[in-house]
Amino acid sequence: MQTVNLPRATKVYRRSFFDQSSQCQLCGRRTRALVCADCCSLIQPLPSNQCRCGLPFNAPSTSAHEASHPPLCGRCVRHPPAFSASSALYPYEFPLDILIQGFKHHGKLDNERALEQLIGHTPLPWPDSDLICPLPVHWQRRWRRGFDQSERLAHLLSQIWQRPVLSALVRQRATPHQQGLTRRQRQRNLRKAFRCQANVQGHHLVLVDDVMTTGSTAREASKVLLDAGAASVRVWCLARTL
Ligand SMILES: [Zn+2]
Ligand SMILES: [Zn+2]
């Protein structure tokens, strides 16, 4: 049987852990946090006054009614989404995009820890929610990456919000990227992309995604969940493309 040199292993582990955490994941400057104060100051949260699709409004809500029933942006007026609200934490822009891409496409665990730091103790925006559903990637993409970023986010939020995760959705078709497509092309692209594999009857769901770009994927996924009997679907995303 192979024996482990415990003192040496501990030393190597401690060295790798502390060396990495003493460098800013964005600019490489030495710091005690994962992202230095200067880089952190570039990542500013979105205002909470957002359209149903997560796009922020510049003016703060003026009444309690408006806060609970926010007005809609032009696109949502023309094509209301199936989900009833969104909450986007940050704008998807530099330098947060670098952190997210490093985590998603290169599996950098330090980036994931930095993102966890940014999420902090963000409160559950809709306290009546009872289940957290990740917006899944196709199994082929998951296999290539070795993980599903939305699922990892969902489990992190589950600890913060004290709500269970239900992986209700299956991505049954590998859909090409949505960028640069028209609305119609995106809809065609996403048709039958998801299937509901769990009992969501009567539940108030929070659909979790890392980045919401146009919202088309969340629209399609919500439709599937509502068709399967969910009482409501609301979308939480770490970052929103503006
Ligand atoms: Zn930095
Ligand atoms: Zn909108």
CATH number at 150 reads 3.40.50
Rounded to 5 degrees, φ, ψ at 80 are: -65, 135
Q: For the chain, what's the residue count?
A: 242
pTM of the model: 0.84
Q: What is the whole-number distance in angstroms between the Cα of residue 92 and the centre of ligand 1?
A: 17
Q: How many domains does the chain have?
A: 2
113 and 150 co-located in one domain: yes
* Same domain, yes or no: 96 and 17: no
Ligand nearest to C-alpha 32: 1
**In angstroms, rounded to a whole number, what is the distance separating the alpha carbons of residues 203 and 163?**
12
CA of 168 to the centre of ligand 1 (A): 38
pLDDT classification of 63: cutoffs 50, 70, 90: low
CA of 120 to the centre of ligand 2 (A): 26
> Which tokens in the block code for residue 2?
């192979």
| Whether residue 38 is found in the same domain as residue 49 | no
**Segments forming the whole domain that contains residue 75:** 44-240
49 touches 61 (CB < 8 A) = yes
Centre of ligand 2 from the C-alpha of residue 170, in Å: 26
Residue appearing with tokens 């108030």: 204
Do 140 and 165 share a domain, yes or no?
yes
Distance of CA 134 from the midpoint of ligand 2 (Å): 21
90 and 182 belong to one structural domain: yes
Q: Tell me the CA–centroid distance for residue 31 and ligand 1, in Å.
A: 8
Residues 131 and 172 in one domain: yes
Q: Closest Cα partner for 137 from 129, 126, 145?
A: 145
171/203 same-domain check? yes
Ligand 2 geometric centre to CA of 127 (Å):
22
- pLDDT at position 164 is 98
170 and 138 in one domain?
yes
Question: Residues 171-223: pLDDT tens digits?
Answer: 987 777 767 777 777 777 778 889 999 999 999 999 999 999 989 999 999 99
Answer whether residue 149 shows pLDDT above 50: yes
Which ligand is nearest the CA of 235, by number? 2
**CB–CB of 165/132 below 8 Å?**
yes
Distance 105 CA to ligand 1 centre (A): 20
- Residue 143: its pLDDT value, please? 86
Asked if residue 114 lies in contact with residue 99, where contact means CB atoms within 8 angstroms, the answer is: yes
Compute, in angstroms, the gap from residue 76 CA to the centroid of ligand 2: 4
Whether the link from the prior residue into 95 is cis, omega within 30° of 0, is yes
* 103 shares its domain with 30: no
Question: Do 205 and 117 lie in a common domain?
Answer: yes
- Cβ atoms of 140 and 119 within 8 Å: the answer is no
